[in-house]
Structure 1
Amino acid sequence: MAGILIVAHAPLATALRECIAHIYGGLPARIGVIDVMPDCDPPEVIAFAYAEIERLREDNGALVLTDVFGATPANIATRLATLPDVRVLAGVNLPMLVRAVCYRATPLDTLVDKALAGATKGIHTIAPGTPVPVAAKVDPVECLPVQPPGAAPV
């Protein structure tokens, strides 16, 4: 199962991890966070990020999710993209992270595709009268969404 590292402006990385713990009723293994502080020392954070990737990486690699492309957290995460079996995605949102957690047992390139799809499919305009879909429940053992009857697959 791929490890996941979230590198974002503080406190976003920790907040996203806490959302995953809430959704799954506990924190799945091998999910790390780095909250980048405004006064951080980038070389120090980069060294810590390398250590975190080594701790989190599994047989199928690791996925690094960061927030704003071009900002300090993304620039730190970009350094990790040079490592074998590590992929980096910018623009993290909760649907992207949920999808990444659900599909982290897949090959790394498939995981990247699923995470990107989750990010974009999770964005909707909600107008008055928009029907509210029934939320999918998540099976924490399989880490795959369990769809309510009649719901479209994730």
Structure 2
Amino acid sequence: MAGILIIAHAPLATALRECIAHIYGGCPARIGALDVLPDSDPAEVVAKANSEIERLREENGALVLTDMFGATPSNIAARLATVPEVRVLAGVNLPMLVRAVCYRATPLDTLVEKALAGASKGVQTIGPCTPPPAECGCAPTPCAEAVADAASQVASQAANPVASQAASESATSATRGTVGADCAQAGLLRPAGT
């Protein structure tokens, strides 16, 4: 199971790890956090990061998540990208981290793909015709893939080809975070009593 190290501006790394502990009812093993303070010595943080990677890395490697590309924490994290079986992703958000925790047992390249998908699919516009998320098996919360699957099911259940096309387009736009006015036509919003 891959270890995960979060390197971010203080207090984000610790806060994200605490969010995972909250979601899972305790922090899963092998998740570390390094908060980079404004007066941190980058050389000391790099040394600490290398030590944390050695502590956290498992048989399928380790994933390093950092906040903002080009900032000090990501520059520190980039130094770990040369370590064998370590991958580094910038732009960490909670959906990325939850997805990474869900898929830690997969090969490292698959874990990277799933974490990136979680990050991008987790950014959505929420509006009155956004379908509710469905369960996906990622304990304990649903992931964006489940939302896309639920939207696909709605599209496939449409009775006529015109409505089916509208439902498919609406489901696609909903999963991208932009919900069109055709939600009612697609069956995503139903008037009360129907």
| TM-score (norm. length: structure 2) | 0.70
SS in 2 for 1:63: strand
CA deviation profile, 1:38-93 (whole Å, cap 9, x unmatched): 00000000000000000000000000000000000000000000000000000000
Amino acid at match of 2:73: P
Q: For the residues of structure 2 that align with 1:44 and 1:146, how far apart are their CA atoms?
A: 36
Indicate the larger mover: 8-17 or 129-138: 129-138
Superposed counterparts of 1:1-154, under 5 Å = 1-127=1-127, 129-131=128-130, 133-134=132-133, 136=135, 144-145=138-139, 152=147
What are structure 2's unaligned runs of at least 5 residues?
151-194
| TM-score (norm. length: structure 1) | 0.88
Q: For the residues of structure 1 that align with 2:80 and 2:10, how far apart are their CA atoms?
A: 19
Deviant stretches of 4+, over 2 Å: 134-138, 144-148, 151-154
Return the offset for 1:126.
Answer: 1.6
Return the offset for 1:145.
Answer: 3.1
Return the offset for 1:133.
Answer: 1.7
Return the offset for 1:37.
Answer: 0.2
CA RMSD of aligned residues (A): 2.1
Amino acid at match of 2:104: R
More strand by proportion, 1 or 2?
1
Residue correspondences, number: 146
More relative contact order in 1 or in 2 (CA 8 Å, sep 6+)?
Answer: 1
Structure 1 contact 137–146 (Cα < 8 Å) conserved: no
